[in-house]
Structure formats: structure tokens, C-alpha cells
Amino acid sequence: MTGAPERRAEGAEGRCESNDAHRWRSDGPLYAALDLGTNNCRLLVAKRCERQDRQGADNLRVVDAFSRIVRLGEGLSNTGRLGEQAMRRTLDALLVCREKIQRRGVRRTRLIATEACRAAANGPEFVARAEQETGLKLEIIGRETEARLAAIGCGSLADPAAVGALLFDIGGGSTEIIWLTPGRDDAAARNIQIWTSIEIGVVSLAERFGGQHVDEATFEAMVATFAQALAPFAERAMRQRACGRFHLLGTSGTVTTVAGVHLGLERYDRRRVDGLWMTADEADAAVAQLRVMNYEQRAANGCIGRERADLVLAGCAILEAIRRAFPAERLRIADRGLREGVLLELMRADRPTGMYR
């Protein structure tokens, strides 16, 4: 996912609240999921808790989290290779992750790498180097696996009354788009109707068109570039829509930033953003507000920051292309995704048959 600032204080915020102890259980081992993307290195350490009124990622009790913008894919679209400085930044972040995993006594881990390592000629070489220097064994996952994990991590936010939900994850180097039919089982692999992975993300798009100063013509050129790549999938997916009862479900730093701007947050607050419903008009207004900001204003915004100020408008262009292709009255915002999907899958693999609903 796109490199949004980490939204959890270390060892603090969990999704199951402890003031309702008779309704949830959080015993058992700790699990860790690491998502190394084109822009961000993100770690989540959690344990399973069970509540009668919670599903999916809401049943994770987060005990530690880490996020650092490393820009592993910096220059990748031009050179086809990971650069030495980018790899060094990433290795430094991975060392922090290793320390957290070891200090917490994590029982099981899954450490995934996505588009940057998939696309780079020296991606496998970097993974081997990372294991040698940090002891962490990264797994380069395919696009289908990435789409499935995103669906597991976010699927419980799909409106069960809708005919379908279009889930999209705007990353640094690629964007995964999935047509879901909502269902009770938030593992939901079987609820994926069709999916695609488009090899365009905020980093690659911003490197191509520029991200600091984006005028109207540049923004529309970015929208058109993504729209062209999206068109074949959009034609197939819209045939899946039986009627108008569908909505968009977005996960990434782009959509959480749009939500934060819409809410007027001076500082990002995950509790107010994750699960938020926005109307089409509200999304239009928030994107328009972002587009009139100059680079310094974006850098000073508490929901963006200097490290992402040159990427957020590329993300807005991708969002705009998706919304034009799939006109919907409602957009739901998810501050959850791959890491939560990994954790849920690990926990389900360990639980005895029939132990949990």
C-alpha cells in the first residue's frame, strides 16, 4: 500500500477494546506481518481476539506497529533496478522490524514484498541480501496473492446489503482492483469475482509526470494514463454489476488522506477514518481541496507530510480514474489491508477446526 504515515502508536491502539472483556478473548501467541512495498516498509504485530460483534481485521488486537517511508522503488521505472541508496534505507528499516519481532517474542511471521521486488531485475538479489544482513526472510508475492490478501484484510468493510463492492489498493508501484460480492466470511477468497493488478502506482506515476507542481493538464494526463490501463478491466467488471447497489472500497495512503482532508483533521486519526463512508460529492470536494494546495501546503498538512507531498496528487489521479470508470454514490475508506490480511490468514491456519466462527 501507499506510504501513509503510521497510524498506530507503538504498543497502543488495538481494534478490540478492553472495557468489554467478557465479550472478547485475546490470549494466545503473537503474530507479525511485514509489507514491503514500493514506497513503504510496514510492520504489524498482533494477537487474535474474539468478539461477538466484530469480524475480520476488527478482531485483531494490535500490540506493536512500525512504518517508514523507504522509497525502495525510487527510480525503478527508469532503470529497471533497485538503487543502492534505496536498498540501504530499506535494510535500515528492516533492522528495526527485526528488533521489534525479536523483542516481542513473536511466534509466527509472514514477511511479504510486493511490486518493487517483483518488477526489479535485482529484486531476488535484494531479498537474499536482506536475509543475510537482517535475518528476515522476505517472500516476493505474486499479484494474485496480493489481491487476495487485500480482500481478506478489507473485506469485512464491504456493505453486506450491496450487490458488489469494488475494492482498490493504490500502491507505490502497482494498483490492485478487485470486484467483491460481500458475504459473511471475511476470508472472502471465494467472494472475489474478478481482479486485476495494474502496474502503475503513485511513485511510478509521479516519477513520470512530476509530483511537486501539478497543473490541470498534468493531472488530467495522469488520470488518462491510468484510465487507459484500467479500461479493459472496467469493461469486464461493469458487466458484473447487476444493479446500482454497489460501492467503492478503497485502501491506501491516498484514500485515507482524502478522508483526513474531508474531516478537516489537523493530525491523522485512524479511529475516525477507518470505516468512514464518503459520498461522491464529499470525495470530489476533498480531492479538489488537495489539488489547489501547493507543494509546501501539502507538506505542512498533518495528513500528508513532506515525505508524501510529491505523491499524493498522483494518488488522487488514480482515484479519479477509478471513480470515473466506476461511478458510485458511496466510497468507504479502509485503513487496513495487506498486513491485516496476512495476520488473519496466519491465525486461521493455526486455529483448531470449529474454534471460531
Q: Is 264 left (phi over 0), alpha (psi -120 to 50) or beta?
A: left
Give one word for 110, left, alpha or beta, with left for phi > 0 and alpha for psi -120 to 50: beta
Helix (H) or strand (E) run with residue 169 in it: strand 164-170
In b/e form, how buried is each residue of 166-181, taking b as 16+ CB within 10 angstroms?
Answer: bbbbbbbbbbbbbbbb
Question: pLDDT tens, position by position, for the chain (357 residues)?
Answer: 444 444 443 333 445 533 343 344 446 799 999 999 999 999 999 998 766 455 677 778 999 999 999 999 999 999 999 999 999 999 999 999 999 999 999 989 999 999 999 999 999 999 999 999 999 999 999 999 999 999 999 988 999 888 889 999 999 999 999 998 866 544 455 578 899 999 999 999 999 999 999 999 999 999 999 999 999 999 988 776 645 588 999 998 999 999 999 999 999 999 999 999 999 999 999 999 999 999 999 999 999 999 999 999 999 999 999 999 999 999 999 999 999 999 999 998 886 544 433
C-alpha cell at 40: 513503504
Q: Are 237 and 326 in contact (CB under 8 A)?
A: yes
In this prediction the pTM is 0.88
The closest of 79, 65, 78 to 35, measured between CA atoms, is 65
What is the C-alpha separation between 314 and 301, in angstroms, rounded?
17
Can you tell me the distance from the alpha carbon of 251 to that of 337, in angstroms, rounded to the nearest whole number? 7
Cell of 82: 533497485
Beta bridge partners of 31: 46, 108
The pLDDT value given to residue 66 = 96
Residues of the chain with CATH 3.30.420.40: 18-143
The pLDDT, as a whole number, for residue 237 is 83
Cell of 100: 521489534
Are 286 and 280 a contacting pair, CB within 8 Å?
Answer: no
**DSSP of 211-262:** SSS--HHHHHHHHHHHHHHHHHHHHHHHTT--SS-EEEEEESHHHHHHHHHH
Give the count of beta carbons closer than 10 Å to the beta carbon of residue 264: 9
At residue 41, the pLDDT reads 97
Per-residue model confidence (pLDDT) at position 8: 40
| Residues forming beta bridges with residue 65, ordered by sequence position | 44
Q: How many residues does the chain have?
A: 357
Q: What is the pLDDT of residue 336?
A: 94
Taking domain 158-338, whether its CATH number is 3.30.420.150 is answered by yes
Beta bridge partners of 251: 169, 334
Work out the angle at residue 136's Cα, subtended by the Cα atoms of residues 135 and 138, and round it to the nearest 5 degrees: 140
Cα separation of 340 and 45, whole Å?
10
Q: What is the pLDDT of residue 5?
A: 44
Rg (CA), the chain: 19
Q: Is 200:231 a contact under the CB 8 Å cutoff?
A: no
Classify 105 in phi/psi space as left (phi over 0), alpha (psi -120 to 50) or beta: left
How do strand 164-170 and strand 139-140 relate by DSSP bridges?
unpaired
Per-residue pLDDT at 327: 93
Contacts of 54 (CB under 8 A, 6+ apart): 15, 16, 24
User: What pLDDT score does 23 carry?
Assistant: 41
18-143 is classed in which CATH architecture? 2-Layer Sandwich (3.30)
pLDDT of residue 114: 96
* Residues forming CATH 3.30.420.150 domain(s) in the chain: 158-338
